[in-house]
Amino acid sequence: MTTSKSPQQANWPAPFIIEPSSPPHTTTFILLHGLGSNGEKFGRELLDTGISSDGHSLRTAYPSARFIYPTAKTRRVTALKRSRVPAWFDMYSLGDRLYREDVQIEGLVESSEYIRVLIERELRGSLQPKDIILGGISNGCALGLTTLLSLAYPIGAFVGLCARLPFRGDIEDVIRHADAVINGQGDGEVTFGEEDDAVASELKDPAIEVLTLVRDLVSIDAKVGEESISIAKSALTTPVFLGHGEQDNVVPCFLGKDAAQTLTSLNVDVTWKLYPDLGHWYKIPDEIDDILAFLRDKAQLFDTEK
């Protein structure tokens, strides 16, 4: 178990990294902690407690995988009376996470860029995008979903716990507008950019409009050309697992269900699991079993020790 830092990550805490126990390295998991935690704490907790019904942790199930647990920068969080804690982005309220979402933007821009750097670093070797599994819990899941929608390519899978999709209301507005234009009920205006007629027609596709919106939110060049349309949309072919506790009073389960429904409306292959009698955490062993089954069935990631 190591921590390491590259020049591109000099302003970030070193991530907690677990190297493959059985080389060669074939897969990388990048898993993001929640508000106020850190990579090592979350990583060790997941290793120690995230055990399946047949006794496997993620590490023992996938011995050729590298596990990267990044740590968020310490920043002031408005919802915590401006206290400084590790946080991927600011939040205005813990009670109403949909209120004043604008305060999240700066952190989402900075943090999603950092996660993309980590992904790109893993792709410099022999790994392909399909070999990357991105995921997180709570605010880490929220950042992870935003990062996923900002990518220009699909990855192996996304695993989200206690999920919320930032700016879901804006995303739904874009979907409704695009659907109205397609059905001849809108004003016909292209929401972003001034593309030619052929590309403008493609931009009426709700999925393309949403990806353009998210890339704009995280300050990636949002211009979409004919060639990049299909490339950008391919990110939506990443299979997504979202698991949520029915008794979660930190991130209410309706936020996870809403995220799943919105992603499904964009034709994302979403596996949604709701766990009774579970609060703001993951269900042991049920949810671990479900995650391993999801990775096997959707990402063709098999337990190499079986």
Please write the tens of the pLDDT for every residue from 152-185: 899 999 999 999 999 999 999 999 988 777 676 6
Q: What is the pLDDT of residue 222?
A: 56
Q: What is the pLDDT of residue 265?
A: 95
Taking only Cα atoms into account, the Rg of the chain, rounded to an integer number of angstroms, comes to 19
Vertex 272, ends 270 and 277: CA angle to 5°? 165
Q: Mean pLDDT over residues 127-152, rounded?
A: 97
Please write the tens of the pLDDT for every residue from 90-122: 988 677 666 678 899 999 999 999 999 999 999
Chain centroid, CA 236 distance in Å: 12
Tell me the CA distances in angstroms from 143 to 107, 115, 178, one per residue in order: 9, 9, 25
Domains of the chain from N-terminus onward: 2-165+238-298 (3.40.50.1820), 171-229 (no CATH)
Largest alpha-carbon pair distance within the chain? 58
Query: DSSP letters of 48-90?
Result: HH---TTS--HHHH-TTEEEEE--PPEEEEGGGTTEEEE-SS-
pTM: 0.89
pLDDT at 194 over 90: no
- One-letter amino acid at 103 equals V
Burial (0-12, 13-18, 19+ Cβ within 10 Å), 178: buried
- pLDDT band of 248, cuts 50, 70, 90: very high
CB atoms within 10 A of CB 203: 20
Q: What is the pLDDT of residue 179?
A: 78
Q: What is the pLDDT of residue 195?
A: 47
Give 202's Cβ-side CA count (13 Å radius): 20
Q: Give the separation between CA 262 and CA 11, rounded to whole angstroms.
A: 34
* CB burial readout 91-118, b (16+ within 10 A) else e: bbeeeebeeebebbbebbbbbbebbbeb
Q: What is the pLDDT of residue 184?
A: 67
Q: Which of 186-200, 267-281, 283-297 has the lowest mean pLDDT?
A: 186-200
Q: What is the pLDDT of residue 237?
A: 96
Q: Give the separation between CA 36 and CA 140, rounded to whole angstroms.
A: 11
What average pLDDT does the structure give for the chain? 88
Q: Give the separation between CA 27 and CA 135, rounded to whole angstroms.
A: 14
Q: What is the pLDDT of residue 193?
A: 47
pLDDT at 188 over 80: no
Give 252's contacts (C-beta < 8 A, 6+ positions apart): none
Q: Percent of the chain scored above 70 by pLDDT?
A: 82
CB 28, CB 127: distance < 8 Å: yes
Please write the tens of the pLDDT for every residue from 199-242: 455 557 889 889 989 988 998 865 555 456 666 688 899 999 99
Residue indicated by tokens 């493609």: 202
